[in-house]
Amino acid sequence: MADRYLRLTGTAPGRFLTRRLGLPQPAALARWSPEHPALDGGLRHLTAGTSALDLAPVLARTGLGPGGAEEPPGAVVLDATGVRDVEALAEVHAALHPVVRSVAPSGRVLVLGAPLDPADHHQAAAQQALEGFTRSLGKEIGRGRTVNLVRLTDAAAAESTLRFLLSPKSAYVSGQVIEVGPLHESPAALDWDRPLAGRTALVTGGARGIGEAVAETLARDGARVVVLDVPQAEQDARRVADRIGGTALPLDITTADAGARIAEALPDGLDLLIHNAGITRDRRLVNMPAERWISVLEVNLASVLRTTDVLLKAGTLKRGGSVVATASIAGLAGNAGQTNYGASKAGVVGLVRSLAPRALDEHGVTVNAVAPGFIETKMTAAIPLFIREAGRRMNSLAQGGLPADVAETTAWLAHPASGAVNGQVVRVCGQSLLGA
């Protein structure tokens, strides 16, 4: 459904009226397209503290040049990995204070931090301070700009993450803290335009909505996509599969033998397992019958656990592969009328945090999750008007996201060069005002 308020604020009378009334003023976000693959403006690289990172080669490959002295920067990268005490935090202010106002609309501010040192509580305090700084700046910067924090020790291991966050593909990702560890295995030579070429991806719930957008984006990046959905949606699944050059797999993911049937359908193995299938059965707990509780937990969580276990144990999921599950901000912050849904999505977070280190060590597979906020789909279009408007505006970007925003984040986590990103739950919510 069209966001008429966003359109209104894009006009001169709308801007005047909303400014006078103190109403949210969302800016139209610049998202990725073949015609618009990079941010507008150059990149400004700043440093606070003494850094040991060699960022220049990686930043040069993001597609953002240095820009002109008078040109508003499309992105500002602040290397604060060397900030080790409170005094050094003054350098964070000194570096960003003069330039943050000049960042171009839909631009990026990316703060780079270091892992917290358990043996140095001064360093840990200073680096944790960067998180509060980043989240706060994201809530005040406006004009469609985003602010994120990446904790890293190796610039090369973070290249796919830096490319993603410094591109239009991350338009609805803001206020996030992402930890990038060391590369478990170095990827082979990559075609950054089609990084998933030669890889097979399975997208559950891929016949419509967010799942359909994920299938399309993975296919754009070169993957052979298997679109899985319930038999009742077989026609829609085949329509999507035919359009992207993939195949359809009609299957109820909640059946006890779903994992075995997937393995049978993919004798050559699977590189990317995207758990997107999900349902809602909203009702307050006092009015919720057991069937509504059980059905949501079965689709959204139990099926994810079962199929992942089977495909890892069978070796169907290949080394160098990825599992990307769909959580939700409802699982992180809670939502009235969704105790079942919130429980299921919080369970996905627990799955990711527990399984990620073991899956990487034992199988060479990363495990991460995306946690969407208010995304413009047929489901959210059915929400009553005033609740829908509140959902759209209660984030730092003051608008709903698109299925493509979740899809682009999923594609980044599935990227062969994202092997250093593991055990992360990344919110795609425009920095929702709910939760952390």
Tell the residue number behind the tokens 């599992």, with chain if given: 323
Q: How far is Cα 188 from Cα 179, in angstroms, rounded to an integer?
A: 23
Q: How far is Cα 210 from Cα 204, in angstroms, rounded to an integer?
A: 10
Task: Evaluate whether 328 touches 345 at the Cβ level (below 8 Å).
Answer: yes
Catalytic residue among 164, 341, 374, 412: 341
Contacts of 260 (CB under 8 A, 6+ apart): 310, 314
Partners of 371 in beta bridges: 427
CA atoms within 13 A on the CB side of 41: 22
Q: How far is Cα 122 from Cα 143, in angstroms, rounded to an integer?
A: 35
CA atoms within 13 A on the CB side of 313: 8
In DSSP notation, 144-177 reads T-EEEEEE-S-TGGGHHHHHHHTSGGGTT--S-E
Q: How far is Cα 186 from Cα 39, in angstroms, rounded to an integer?
A: 28
Is 341 among the catalytic positions? yes
Return the active site residues: 341
